[in-house]
Amino acid sequence: MTLLKRVKRLPEGFVWGAATAAYQVEGSTGKDGMGKTMWDDFLVSKGRFLPDPASDFYHRYPEDIRLAAEHGIKALRISISWARVFPNTDGDPNPVGVKYYHELFAECRKHGIEPYVTLHHLDSPIGMFSRGDWLNRANIDSFVNYAQFCFEEFTEVSQWFTINEPISLAFFQYVVAEFPPADLFNFSSSFQAMHNMALAHARVVKVFKEGGHRGRIGVIHALKPVYPIVDTPDNRHAAELWDAYLNRFLLDLTFFGKLTDRTSALIEEICGVQEASFSVEDGDYDEMQAAVGLNDYLGINYYQPQFVQAYAGENRSKYNATGEKGTTTLRMKGIAELVKNPDVPTTDWDWNVYPQGLYDILRQVDANYPAHPTIYITENGLGSKDVLDAAGDFVDDDDRIDFIDQHLNALLKAREDGVDVRGYFVWSLQDQFSWSNGYNKRYGLFYIDFETQRRVIKKSALWSKEIASTID
């Protein structure tokens, strides 16, 4: 009996993949010469959960990659931990860490899986973090040097991404204060970090192209379409303001090399009400513009849209990190308030389940950024409180299959309407450590018993194998 639902076939040549991130799966933090990251001391101070052993991917990657191949995965998003390769941010590389990634990439190749490698996935090394992280322009040079080393060392890799989700890092560090340094409603730092990451991306892309390195390179943006909950002028303006912050700021810098007049006006309005500012140095936009045509692809991480209404009160935030449904609050003075759409279902973590949003954001990017290259959906998936069956050897996660299937259907509709989308990566390959949620929020195709590290096949993995088999 088939597990296929709406989507019966994937297009010829379509990239079917799954995604991971080093800090969320590897475990073995601080082992074998690895330096600290921005997370290590922060998580200890919070006393909630620690990233060890996570999914123990550091030791168990052969098993996970074998399981991936057996269930139709042809491409795997993997990040390199900067701190594992350069324990002191700069200086001499760690030979054990370098050897690990060579062996990991070789294992992917052995099983016919193409590695898509991200250089920075929300895990700055402590040396970079202690001197200001992305707020310090000097750290851009360190990132460029690290990237150049990786390009020259890991020649077996031909698919690269520079930075994963600059907006998420800046937002969670400096607006809702869930990531270190947990600075609440500091829009100045948020905009400065995003600007500097956009500049770092431009410089790394230039280094990659001028160095004649084999393969392709791009950036990954987390995009969220923003809708007014009720169609009024005030709510439409609130949606436009929030869209400028979440989406337009980084998309403009990536694909125009500067802010458009409209985006600039909206950002100035946000800065005005939030008493924020950020600096742009002479030549920054020239560097970004020079890199616009050098991007080979755009990765889009899509999980949910946001519904908003106008809001004039004081800033207030409560992030749902527990899975206690209905506990999220985000109100931003003079910008917008997030509200629940009663017609849209939500997860236990208050994330909207809205496949139409993927179609809408793809069409939005396609219409507004003519310089955009080929698009891949580099993350999409459902976080759930998965449980084993009575026998302890299977997870029936029909809800995840339905979620992915609906979003694939939206993607294929966007393709039919002319958007150049050529691949999809399920988040995630296996259950893993979550930055804000620890271990009870599960996304994987494979269930991890975090006490024993036993792998258990979920129904979604069986569905993955079947849908992958339809690709010619």
| Of 122, 361, 403, nearest in space to 246 by CA | 361
Q: What is the DSSP letter of 430?
A: B
Structure tokens belonging to residue 61: 């990657």
- Nearest-5° angle of CA 246, CA 280, CA 219? 45
CA-based torsion, 168, 97, 17, 382: positive or negative = negative
Q: What's the gap between Cα 334 and its chain centre?
A: 28
| Of 110, 100, 46, nearest in space to 78 by CA | 100
SS3 324: coil
SS3 374: strand
Q: Which residue has 């123990």 as its token pair?
A: 56
Q: 175-193 burial, b for 16+ CB within 10 Å, e for fewer?
A: bbbbbbeebebbbbbbbbb
Exactly one of 26, 240, 337, 379 is catalytic; name it: 379
Structure tokens belonging to residue 344: 């849209």
Structure tokens belonging to residue 397: 């996660």
Q: What is the Cα–Cα distance from 19 to 148, expressed in whole angstroms?
A: 23
Stated as kind and residue range, the H or E segment containing 361 is helix 356-368
145-to-90, 122, 138, 208, 220 alpha-carbon distances in Å: 8, 18, 11, 11, 20
Cβ count near 293 (within 10 Å): 12
CB 68, CB 111: distance < 8 Å: yes
SS3 120: strand
Exactly one of 165, 178, 240, 337 is catalytic; name it: 165
**Cβ-Cβ contacts under 8 Å for 91 (sequence gap 6 or more):** none
Structure tokens belonging to residue 292: 């616009």
Annotated catalytic, 165?
A: yes
Q: What is the Cα–Cα distance from 371 to 14, expressed in whole angstroms?
A: 22
Which positions are annotated as active-site residues? 165, 379
